[in-house]
Amino acid sequence: MIFVDPIKTLQHLSVLYPETGALHAGTSYHMIVMVALSARTRDEQILKLAPGFFTAFPTVQSLAAASIQDITDRINTIGLYKQKAKNLKAMVQMIVDDFDGKVPRTMDELVRLPGVGRKTASVILVAAFDVPAIAVDTHVHRVVNRLGWVKTKTVEATEQALLRILPESMYAIVNRVFVPFGRTICIAKPRCWTCPLVNECTLAQKNLTPPANAEKILGTIRAMREGIRVLKEELHAKLG
């Protein structure tokens, strides 16, 4: 059951979070690599390693030709880097072998790639190809359930529910606004005391009392957003 107008909510959050996704930079090759590496890893870490990584592997062909050890050495600052290196090698090899070196443009083709699920595929469809899709991760899943838009148990069920209740024109906004919102405000123990959607939320037990260090928390959130903006600008300049 929907208790508020999701379109108005998304429009409101679009004003508060006008930036494109943190890893929305460069070509489809750059984006699929960064999104694939970002699982259980902060965007800041990906943005920091990306310039050196893409200097070493400027094309999908150069990455496909690299050894797993070469790839591992370039990503060993992030979690699960050994498995990610194997998946990345297999992913770009399939892109070269099966898709003529071009990142595929459909959901069915993207999810064939090793290490690419529906969330990653949806991010790429939206960011690289302007194809309507809703990328649902744990943040999106948590927030829309708390708002009462859906009542689902899994990210997969949440994606399907959102595809039914939202107009296609709003699909791309969902991940863009709810990921930073879910990482900083609607966290596991929600910061309802600073939430712009507090009066729309169906969460029964709201955390409305600001902690003693509320200003420090808000300062950290602002610094995080600014840090991502700067890193992203630097990456844009590097990629041209």
Residue 1 has pLDDT above 50, yes or no: no
Residues 117 and 160 in one domain: no
Q: What is the pLDDT of residue 64?
A: 97
CB 223 within 8 A of CB 216: no
Same domain flag for 118 and 157: no
Look at residue 106 and tell me whether its pLDDT is greater than 80.
yes
Range of the domain at 88: 28-130
Q: What is the pLDDT of residue 67?
A: 96
What's the mean per-residue pLDDT of the chain? Answer: 94
Give percent of the chain with pLDDT exceeding 90: 91
Confidence class for position 2, pLDDT limits 50, 70, 90: very low
Is there a single domain that holds both residue 106 and residue 151? no
Say which CATH number the domain at 11 has: 1.10.1670.10
Q: How many domains are contained in the chain?
A: 2
**Are residues 15 and 36 located together in one domain of the fold?**
no
Structural domain ending residue among the three candidates 130, 152, 180 = 130
The DSSP result for the chain, as a single string, is ---S-HHHHHHHHHHH--SPPTT--S-HHHHHHHHHHTTTS-HHHHHHHHHHHHHH--SHHHHHHS-HHHHHHHHTTSTTHHHHHHHHHHHHHHHHHHSTTS---SHHHHTTSTT--HHHHHHHHHHHH--------HHHHHHHHHHTS---SSHHHHHHHHHHHS-GGGHHHHHHHHHHHHHHTS-SS--GGG-TTTTT---SS---SPPTTHHHHHHHHHHHHHHHHHHHHHHHHHH-
Residue 235 counted as domain residue: no
Q: From CA 217, how far away is CA 77, in angstroms rounded?
A: 26
Give the residue with greater pLDDT, 1 vs 111: 111
pLDDT higher than threshold 90 for residue 240:
no
Q: What is the predicted pLDDT for the residue at 239? A: 87
Residue 39's pLDDT is what?
86
Q: What does the pLDDT average to over 233-237?
A: 91
Same domain, 126 and 142: no
pLDDT tens per residue, range 74-98:
999 999 999 999 999 999 999 999 9
- Residues 54-69 have a mean pLDDT of 96
| pLDDT tens per residue, range 152-193 | 999 999 999 999 999 999 999 999 999 999 999 999 999 999
Mark which of 130, 152, 168 sits at the end of a domain: 130
The residue-averaged pLDDT of 111-130 equals: 95
pLDDT at 40: 86
- Looking at the domain assignment, is residue 239 inside a domain? no
Same-domain status, 63 and 87: yes
Residue 217 domain-assigned (yes or no):
yes
User: Does residue 52 sit in the same domain as residue 118?
Assistant: yes
Considering the domain architecture, whether residues 164 and 193 belong to the same structural domain is answered as yes
